Amino acid sequence: MFQATTIVGTDKAVFYDELASQLNGLLSGEADHIANAANTSALIFDMLPDLNWAGFYFPYGDELVLGPFQGKPACVRIAVGRGVCGTAVKSGRSIVVEDVLAFPGHIACDAASRSELVVPLFRDGKFIGVIDLDSPSVGRFDATDRDGIEKLAAIYVLASSLNA
C-alpha cells in the first residue's frame, strides 16, 4: 500500500491514482450512498496526511445536512450559499481555501481548521452533496489535491444510488 506520508511533488498524483483504485475496490458491489460515504470518508481520513476532518454533506431543502464523516463533531446544517460548502454548492465548482480565516463567511465548526477543500457532487446534472476536507495547516490543499478528490468524488457518485 502507498504510504500517505510520501505525498510530495509528482508522487501526489500517483498517490491519488492509487487511492482511486482502492476506493473502486472498496465500493465495488455496494450501491448504498450512506455506506459508501462512510467508507469514502474513512479511507480519505485514514490515507491523507494532515487532515482533521473528512466527510459529506447532503442537500435537504435549502440546506446541507451532515452525512458520514471522520473527525471531531461537526456543524449539522449549513445554508446553501454560506461557508465554503454552501459556496461550492452555489457556484457548482470545487473550492480550495488556503486560509479559512481569510474566507468571507467561513463557518468555524472546528476552530483548529485552517484550510479547506470542498468538492460538489453531481449526478446527471443534479446536485447530490459535497465532500468536505479540513486541515489544521494553512495551505494544505492545492490543485493536485482538488483533482484527486474530484476523481474520488466521481467514483463515489458512480458507485452510489440515492435510492439504495
The answer to whether residue 48 scores a pLDDT higher than 80 is yes
pTM, 2 dp: 0.91
Mean pLDDT for 102-118 is: 87
The whole-number pLDDT of residue 107 equals 83
- Count how many Cα atoms sit within 13 Å of the Cα of residue 23 in the half-sphere of its side chain: 32
Copy the grid coordinates of residue 79.
445554508
The whole-number pLDDT of residue 109 equals 81
Residue 8 CB contacts under 8 Å (≥ 6 apart), including other chains: none
Query: What is the longest distance spanned by two Cα atoms in the chain?
Result: 42
For residues 3-27, one letter each, b for 16 or more C-beta atoms within 10 angstroms of the residue's C-beta and e for the rest, the string is eeeebeeeebeebbeebeebbeebb
What is the assigned CATH class of domain 4-159? alpha beta
Q: What is the pLDDT of residues 6-21, one digit of tens each?
A: 455 559 999 999 999 9
More confident residue, 112 or 70: 70
Of the listed ranges 30-34, 37-41, 72-76, 102-106, the least confidently predicted one is 102-106
Closest CA to 45 of 33, 53, 34, 37: 53
Structural contact between residues 120 and 132, judged by C-beta atoms closer than 8 angstroms: no
The whole-number pLDDT of residue 138 equals 97
Of the listed ranges 59-63, 103-107, 140-144, 149-153, the least confidently predicted one is 103-107
Q: What is the pLDDT of residues 118-151, one digit of tens each?
A: 999 999 999 999 999 999 999 999 999 999 999 9
Q: Are strands 95-97 and 77-79 parallel, antiparallel or unpaired?
A: unpaired
Of the listed ranges 3-7, 110-114, 121-125, the least confidently predicted one is 3-7
The answer to whether residue 82 scores a pLDDT higher than 70 is yes
Mean pLDDT for 33-59 is: 97
